[in-house]
Amino acid sequence: MENASYRETTCCFTGHKAIPAGMEQYLTRRITDGINYLYSNNVRTFLTGGAIGFDALAAKAVLKCRESRSDIRLIVVMPCQDQTKGWGQSDIDAHELINRLADGAICPSERYYSGCMHQRNRILVDNSSTCICYLTQTEGGTAYTVNYARVKGLSVFNLAKGKKHSIISKTHL
């Protein structure tokens, strides 16, 4: 999948599974603003990690934007085929709907193993030029992915309130 010209038109999302009460609407609006801005700068493909929380919000926002811009693509990059093991039924149903509506899916592993999340996160970053994140903690999978994105030279925009570079606009990209 990795291709320099493809990367330039691709954005990945990464964020925490737990979204504080009252933040979903705010984040959805910010994600949508980011998608619209990036679209005006020729980004057409959006990659999400297929998890609950921020990943699901991002996927739903991409699908909503695709209703008026048919050239937008959503690719779900799952760490393993049994990713939903242990999830609640409503989260499983939402995940399955997103996967049905997505333009494609990448799933490098059939079963969970200790490094499959990092592998998924590297796929997200290695195939993107921009990363929109929701990062509020300095440890964990989201922090790993954002740090990896910075090392790889991606433009990283954190939608967490009060974070530097949290506003997506022409001056930040």
**What whole-number percentage of the chain has pLDDT above 90?**
85
Query: pLDDT tens digits for the chain (173 residues)?
Result: 555 678 999 999 999 999 998 899 999 999 999 999 999 999 999 999 999 999 999 999 999 999 999 999 999 999 999 999 999 999 999 999 999 999 999 999 999 999 999 999 999 999 999 999 999 999 999 999 999 999 999 999 999 965 544 444 433 43
Number of domains in the chain: 1
Domain that holds residue 101: 4-158
Asked if residue 168 is part of any domain, the answer here is: no
Q: 146-153 long-range CB contacts below 8 Å, 24 or more apart?
A: 146/14, 148/121, 148/122, 149/12, 149/14, 149/125, 152/125, 152/126
Residue 167, domain member (yes or no): no
CATH number at residue 92: 3.40.50.450
Q: Does 38 map to a domain?
A: yes
In a domain, 127, yes or no: yes
Distance CA 121, CA 14 (A): 8
In a domain, 74, yes or no: yes
